[in-house]
Amino acid sequence: MKKYIAFLRGINVGNIRIKMHDLKNAFQEMGFQNAETYLQTGNVVFESEKNISEIKVIIEKGLTETFHYQAFVLLYDFDVLAEIVANYPFEKDEANHAYVVFVESEAVFEELATISESLEEEIAKGNTLLYWKVPKGKSLDTPFAKITAKAKYKSTTTIRNINTLEKMLE
């Protein structure tokens, strides 16, 4: 049995509301073991014997059918999460949010990385993800925030706070 983390894109914002209890139950009904949710943003840790590409298809289809919305899920081996958190390149402080922008598509990653180089924001490349340090209260207002909010990135990106990721590792 291997441990995975699923980041659901775009739930509990706008019109897509899913209770974490219902989400946990949906994962169990799809045949995944030891499902646990974190916060209200669609972070699910679970175990499965299936490979990651099979899991993605099962989850997206299952969530779409169960909750009646177009589900987009980014999946990672749970062991990779500790490495992602450890590699955050900026100093953390109280005035800023520390984010990881998870990017599923290599082409989208390259596009966002190239765009980020022209911005005056603290953004650094990771392994098909971007680390982003943004002043608190500005997470929706910076040029990079507006770019990542575009509909064309909806199915291939999601942003998580490092603090949340650290709690998931405990």
Q: What is the pLDDT of residues 149-162, one digit of tens each?
A: 998 998 889 999 99
Q: Domain boundaries in the chain?
A: 2-80, 87-169
The answer to whether 2-80 and 87-169 have equal CATH topology is yes
Closest Cα to residue 8, out of 56, 43, 39, 37? Answer: 43
End-to-end CA distance of the chain: 19
pLDDT per residue as tens digits for the range 43-100: 899 999 999 999 999 999 999 999 888 888 999 999 999 999 999 999 999 999 999 9
Identify the CATH class of 87-169: alpha beta
Q: Is the pTM of this model over 0.85?
A: yes
**Domain 2-80 sits in CATH 3.30.70.1280:** yes
**Paired tokens of 156:** 């291939």
Strand residue runs (E) in the chain: 2-8, 33-38, 43-48, 73-77, 96-103, 122-125, 129-135, 157-161
Q: Are the CB atoms for 169 and 81 separated by under 8 Å?
A: yes
Residues in the chain: 170
Closest Cα to residue 96, out of 146, 124, 125, 132? Answer: 132
Sign of CA dihedral 72, 151, 39, 122: positive
